[in-house]
Amino acid sequence: MLRKPVAPSAQQGRLAPVSHRATPRATVLLTGFAPFGGETLNSSWEAVQALQGEQIAGHTVVCAELPTVFYVSLEQLMNLVRENHPALVICVGQASNRQAISLERIAINIADARIPDNAGAQPIDKPVVSGAQPAYFSSLPIKAMLRDLSAAGLPAEISQSAGTFVCNHLFYGLMHDLERRRALTGVRGGFIHLPALGGAGTPAMALQDMQQGLRIAIASALATTRDVKLAAGATA
Ligand code: PCA
């Protein structure tokens, strides 16, 4: 498929026209984020990059690092989705306050940044996509993934909020595009937050555990088209 290049500014928040449907290829697109907030490492990219080129359940894992920048990250992600036409898109970010692999359930249509992104933007109470629905659910089988991660002895949880910063923004934008573009029918996607790698007062997880967790999460998502019922909710 030929695509006309679109200037970044012109593409923000819009959908490039796609005219036909294609069958997902046997690839999994796995993304991590660049360090942000003055940190020098981001656990998500540290973990994700180790899986580049691995074969999981007959699928090749394609990895990419995205900038921690509103809109630019989404634009780069959707270019990668169009180029690779993966069966699964799993975006990964760091959440320093989490102690477990957090399988995100829901993306919300709001950006409310407590700190500026890596390009200095700090949107406050702005929709990710103007006029679009308030939220999307992940289309990954998060309960089956939780079951399989827990069975492997890795700390994992369902998370009810991916926050309101760049990660949620990317997650919402991804789900919006996957649902609206006919050409991407059948492509499933979602978001996973990882704890930090360590540091003063920060809950941490070993890098190898994060990498193993991502492998298990991918295998589980590929093996499960209909999610299992498993109580893993939260009281407020
Ligand atoms: N975590 C941030 C953005 C990039 C990342 O790794 C977040 O949770 O929004």
Mean pLDDT by 10 residues, the chain (236 residues): 43 48 85 96 97 98 98 98 96 96 98 98 98 98 98 98 98 97 94 89 87 98 96 93
Would you state the pLDDT for residue 25? 85
Q: What is the mean pLDDT of the chain?
A: 91
pLDDT at 13: 47
SS3 sequence of 70-139: CCHHHHHHHHHHHHHCEEEEEEEEECCCCCCEEEECEEECCECCCCCCCCCCCCCCECCCCCCCCEEECC
What is the residue whose two structure tokens read 């780069």? 76
The answer to whether the CB of 172 is under 6 A from ligand 1 is no
Tell me if 167 is assigned to some domain.
yes
Count of domains forming the chain: 1
The Cα-based distances of 16 to 28, 44, 85 in angstroms read 22, 28, 15
Residue nearest (by alpha carbon) to ligand 1 atom 9: 167
The answer to whether residue 128 sits within a structural domain is: yes
Domain extent at residue 216: 15-223
**Each residue of 11-70: pLDDT tens digit?**
444 555 544 566 778 999 999 999 999 999 999 999 999 999 999 999 999 999 999 999
User: Does residue 4 fall inside a structural domain?
Assistant: no
pLDDT at 204: 84
Q: Against a cut of 0.95, is the pTM above it?
A: no
CATH of the domain at 42: 3.40.630.20
Quick check: is 9 in a domain?
Answer: no
Residue 168 lies in a domain: yes
Kindly state whether residue 67 falls inside one of the protein's structural domains: yes
CA of 225 to the centre of ligand 1 (A): 27
**Ligand 1 centroid from CA 32, angstroms:** 9
